[in-house]
A and B are shown apart, each in its own frame.
Chain A
Amino acid sequence: MEPHQVKVNGVPRVLAAGPQVSLLDWLRGQGLTGAKEGCAEGECGACAVLVARADGPDRTRWTAVNSCLPPALAFDGGEVVTSEGLGRAPGACTAEELHPVQREVADRGGSQCGYCTPGFVCAMAAEYYRPERRPAAAGEPAPDHGPNGFDLHALSGNLCRCTGYRPIRDAAYALGAPADGDQLAARREAPAPALRLTRFVSERAEFIRPGTLQELLDRLEQEPDAVLVAGATDVGVERNLRHSRPRLVLAIDRMEELRRLDVGTDHVDIGAALTLTEVEQGLGGRVPLLNKLFPQFASRLIRNSATLGGNLGTGSPIGDAAPVLLALDATLVLTSRRGDRPVALADYFTGYRRSVREPDEIIRAVRLPLPLAPSTAFHKVAKRRFDDISSVAVAFAARFDGAVLTDLKIGLGGVAATPLRARAAEDALTGTELTAESAAEAAGILAGEGTPMDDHRASARYRTAMLEQAMLRFYAESAPELEVIR
């Protein structure tokens, strides 16, 4: 078999590293020390690099990811660009040749200590090359967007402790379009690197990218302790911070059966191994409640790797997607050698990080019933607006007939060992007119749902209050429309 290999900054490099070696550590071991480890859990973005991802069958999209999380082997056959590859540093015998992104950051004082800078530059370059980026039409740019169409959320996963961010924002907002002859821009016009069915086997660990769903399910049945990896945004943290060392890693990031997005007449099926960014792009705003979720779900760097399957598979009691999907009345399509098994998300979680999923089962897709409830809201309570973990997350999906709530589903995160539906509050309000009084009463009921606890993110008391306030806010935000109806 051919050696594993990654094209880095245009040059193929042989990849001889086990599945426990992150892309970051491998790159640094290659002498490419531009990417840095700042946190090893995908929070700071100092390790960000660009990877070539498929943008449809014929094109490539430069996508920024945290290199500290995925195993290097996941990029076997792939193409990676680091800060070193974007431009050329001034050296003893060379003049500097900075990429436009690097030039703007350098000239505007966007680097001080410089440690986070390579990651910022890569995240900024991905947005620079985003094909949909267009200068704003006349008038005010969208919130968190520059006049050049730069979405500041592209940098929401990058932390800087020195600059206070203003010069970095100004650099981002000053970027023009890629010039003619820009090689990375040109690279977008050709297909992404071809899929490789990577097989790495050593005494202690295996990394397999199965070619078919059948092979995946077979392996999983034989070895139910195998770890499934798509973006590795959770597995990578487990490896780096909690030192988990799985014997078998099964990469599912290219598995076609898990990567379909089907919008039917009575439901939407979202492949479990699609990244959140891909889902966002694929849905194009057709599920408004998900559109409210996406910008608040971790950071762009994480959303470029993280999947709904991973988010639900880990069974986190917070995971912001779960409350939203609960409100949307989602069903999970579980698959094993025994076939498909749909399970309502509301029945999926059984305890802290536990679920009804059998060891040999995988989440194939998330199914949303249509038509969607027209009135929705997502309230995420966290310390920080960009890239933080919720202390409480509340999602609402409602149908009104006049001012009467005919259907209400409320998903909660962060207030119990699992995400849950707020059944008591839903029941209290369903079939009644939403008024200040009924909302206040329901707020009291909602506050009684779940079993919030004290931790470093928030007190139990605050969490309870946030449930109450979420209902009051839902009413306050619905009230102007209801007023018109009345």
Chain B
Amino acid sequence: MSALADRPANPAVGQTVSHESAALHVTGTALYTDDLVGRMRGCLHAWPVQAPHAHAYVTALHTEPASAIPGVVRVLTAADVPGVNDAGAKDDEPLFPREVMYHGHAVCWVLGETAEAARLGAAAVEVDYEELPSLLTLTEAIDAASYQGHQPVVARGDAESGLQRAPRRFSGTFEFGGQEHFYLETHASLAHVDESGQVFVQSSTQHPSETQEIVAHVLGLSNSEVTVQCLRMGGGFGGKEMQPHGLAAVAALGAVLTGRPVRLRLNRTQDMTLTGKRHPMCASWEVGFDDDGRLLALRATITSDGGWSLDLSEPVLARALCHIDNAYFIPDVEVHGRIAKTNKTSQTAFRGFGGPQGMLVIEDILGRCAPALGIDPAELRRRNLYAPGQSTPYGQPVRHAERLHDIWAQLSSRADVERRRAAVEHFNATHEHSKRGLAMTPVKFGISFNFTAFNQAGALVHVYKDGSVLVNHGGTEMGQGLHTKMRQVAATALGVPLDFVRLAPTRTDKVPNTSATAASSGADLNGGAVKHACEQIREQLAEVAARKLDTQPYNVRFVDGRVTSLGSTESLSFAELVHTAYFQRTPLFAAGFYRTEGIHWDAANMQGEPFKYFSYGAAVSEVEVDGFTGAYRFLRTDIVHDVGDSLSPLIDLGQIEGGFVQGTGWLTLEELRWDTSAGPGRGRLETQAASTYKIPSFSEMPEEFNVHLYERATESGVVYGSKAVGEPPLMLAFSVREALRAAAAAFGPAGRPLELPSPATPEAVFWAVQDARAAAGGRAVPATTPAASGAG
């Protein structure tokens, strides 16, 4: 076996290729779960009955009126569940609840011959509720001490004495919003009992194995009696890691009870009101710097809004705590975390998985404190970057910390930061009604699941007699290009052209016990497994080839579909070799397995080395703010990002750009608003449609957008020297938020700290501008704020 990171000659990895399904995408022939409905005869449609209260008991459920509606076939309730009435992995999410925990909670589901019949049936179901008091905001939950799950602490050194010693101290609080995934494809499941009697569920799921387990658990079946397939998803972003399970279970339950296929597809509003989102959080913090702006100590409490159940809130919080340092060395740290229980959707995984929230806290602190310290924010950030040899607060050495400095310097020069900084100053001096801001922020993001057991993967690779290759692996394709990369990995490992290799849809009956395709780990883990499987086959084939070529197996080379021997001109095609191997009774398929080595995590003490490595990057963004409205334009963004040696440059570029814009959406436009009044709509999500919840469009793309992949960046110990890319780029968007802060501040006197809410909507920016202007209107503001004062 070759070392994991080594690349052979002329590898398929590293080539710029389009998404493996690009031709299918553009011709509208790529199939998603809900596109299969027309292929099922007699398919029923499911519709939820959603509770109109934030918190209530269901005191009576009358389904008879629904059954009287033409076309209604059955109403599914708790009484129908043969197994366990629970859709969660922690036994805290009843599939058919007796206690409504949030506005829109589905209390039962109606099956109809058409979606229209099911909808009318759902409207006819009569439910009696006994309303209960509800908690919606973080403040309400904190006041009521409503918490759930563990309350972890990440600590190093002595934060209290560190703060005492610090000549410059600041404190503050910061509450910031969550984010709706808004994958373009809403949740969909299509279940039937197949010809062999197994329950077969097509599901838009990032975690087919867990979907399978929950379906089995609800139906009272063994896992072997349930198969889940995910063809592809129209986006996942973490929103389909835990959330599909209950929906798949409803469809499967309906299929088992009626003997007919059942389709459950949420419309946009159902998707937004039923499923979890990125966790909103709030932080209270105290920070200490030395006179040069070096961080000395941080003490903080982060309260995460988990919604009505735990879901993934604990690991999300753990990652938030493990990322509060972002790219900065803080000697003395004490960070407490807790999860509020509120009457909202159960918040869940979302690209970055708590990392963005933790990092936002420190970036906000630095952005607020820099003016008070009298240090340029970019310089403050640079000064605090990790140096080689330093470790994180949870005890992991920051390997390759020098890359952070190198990336920072490269970015400054590529983006011509010094000249543009002067240009921004000139613009601001000459424009009364609009101001520009430029800001630069780094990213350091830990790669691996914090939960060590998830860091394993399997693959099943078949080589057919004609030399064609079929790859199954445990990862799911949600647009991130995993299948494209796996195809390149297989082609590289077998030394065949890309078009020899076909990727099969992800199915639990091909590779069992898979981890979620999450934590940016899809290519690292499944790539390791695919490579392992291919190399087993290649070794078998090398034996056969050695006999044919009259050489030793270790001299056999597989390149571009030709098999050669070192020092010989003789060669044969891969297909010929495979054909020969078959007749010599050689196994032409193999199961591959991979587990990440060298990681460990003590979850109780929040110490260890949970990450295989860190991903690094930095971004510089320039924005322009309109002083009349607070509206802004994103003029330019430059990024240098470390993906190791890229497996697939076009795919990686897409992940970086897309992640950045998605992060920009979270920090600027995307605002989740719940009705927090005492009125009858209390708890209702007010932004529950595309018309009210605005994700970025073309107008939010940076007008000039330059992304550069950090070069000569081989990551040892990872498949073909690459690094994960899915999540880290999202956090490059902090540069936009800090640029907005700088632009808003430019309406006021220099050197004045400015608070900026998140999301920084045009309205929020307008009030920040007004705040800055008010300061310019006479109130004296010192250029630096004395020690121990607030930072804003």
Contact = CB atoms under 8 A, between A and B. Distances in A.
A34 B763 contact: no
Contact of B658 (A90, A112, A114, A462): A112
A118 B38 contact: no
Contact of B233 (A31, A113, A456, A472): A113
Given A160-B184, A165-B701, A166-B705, A112 B654 contact: yes
Given A31-B38, A111-B25, A117-B25, 5 more contacts: A41-B689, A89-B23, A112-B19, A113-B236, A114-B22
Interface stretch (B26-34, B375-383, B533-541): B26-34
Contacts of B233: 113
B628 A164 contact: no
A161 interface: yes
A33 B661 CA distance: 28
Contact of B653 (A109, A118, A387, A456): A109
B22 A470 contact: no
A84 B30 CA distance: 10
Chain A interface size, under 10 / 10 to 19 / 20 to 34 / 35 or more: 35 or more
A152 B26 contact: no
A161 B686 contact: no
* Of listed B267, B658, B673, residue having the most chain A CB within 10 A: B658
B699 A43 contact: no
A384 B38 contact: no
B584 interface: no
Given A161-B184, A384-B669, A385-B699, A113 B232 contact: yes
A117 B26 CA distance: 6
B690 A167 contact: no
Interface string A103-134: 10111011111111110010000000000000
Given A156-B697, A456-B673, A164 B660 contact: yes
A28 B267 contact: no
Given A41-B689, A241-B269, A383-B762, A83 B235 contact: no
A358 B696 CA distance: 41
Nearest to B21: A114
Interface in B213-248: 232-237
B18 A40 contact: no
B26 A98 contact: yes
A159 B628 contact: no
A243 B118 CA distance: 13
A88 B698 contact: no
A118 B28 contact: yes
Contacts of A469: 628-629
A455 B184 contact: no
24 contacts: A33-B35, A34-B28, A36-B185, A38-B690, A43-B689, A43-B690, A84-B27, A89-B24, A96-B27, A111-B21, A112-B481, A114-B30, A114-B232, A121-B26, A164-B657, A164-B661, A167-B654, A169-B701, A237-B691, A243-B119, A379-B628, A462-B763, A462-B767, A469-B628
Interface string A454-486: 011111001001100110110010000000000
A466 B766 CA distance: 10
Contact of B234 (A36, A158, A388, A472): A36
Given A33-B35, A38-B690, A381 B268 contact: no
A384 to B, nearest CB: 5
Contacts of B25: 105-106, 111, 114, 117-118
Nearest to B649: A109
Interface string B675-697: 00000000000110111101111
Chain B interface size, under 10 / 10 to 19 / 20 to 34 / 35 or more: 35 or more
Contact of B631 (A40, A90, A152, A385): A385
Contact of B22 (A41, A106, A155): A106
B604 to A, nearest CB: 37
A111 B26 contact: yes
Given A384-B700, A473-B628, A44 B184 contact: yes
B201 interface: no
B662 A161 contact: yes
A162 B27 contact: no
A159 B690 contact: yes
Contacts of B651: 109
Q: Give chain A's interface secondary structure class.
A: loop
Nearest to A458: B763
B699 A386 contact: yes
Contacts of B22: 105-107, 109, 111, 114
Contacts of B186: 38
A169 B662 contact: no
A170 to B, nearest CB: 10
B736 to A, nearest CB: 12
A8 to B, nearest CB: 12
Contacts of B700: 384-385
B739 to A, nearest CB: 17
A342 B689 CA distance: 37
A476 B433 contact: yes
Contacts of A84: 27-29
A24 B135 CA distance: 40
Given A106-B18, A165-B661, A112 B669 contact: no
B629 A466 contact: yes
A101 B23 CA distance: 11
A384 B19 contact: no
A111 B234 contact: no
B26 A33 contact: no
A87 interface: yes
Contacts of B18: 106-107, 109
A408 interface: no
Contact of B698 (A36, A115, A165, A470): A165
* Of listed B181, B479, B633, B695, residue having the most chain A CB within 10 A: B479
Contacts of B628: 379, 469-470, 472-473, 476
Contacts of B184: 36, 38, 44, 46, 113, 115-116, 159-161
A377 B22 CA distance: 44
Nearest to A171: B26
B182 interface: yes
* Of listed B31, B628, B669, residue having the most chain A CB within 10 A: B628
A29 interface: yes
Contacts of B662: 161, 164
A375 interface: no
Contacts of B183: 113, 115, 161
Nearest to B237: A161
Contacts of B31: 33
A354 B184 CA distance: 35
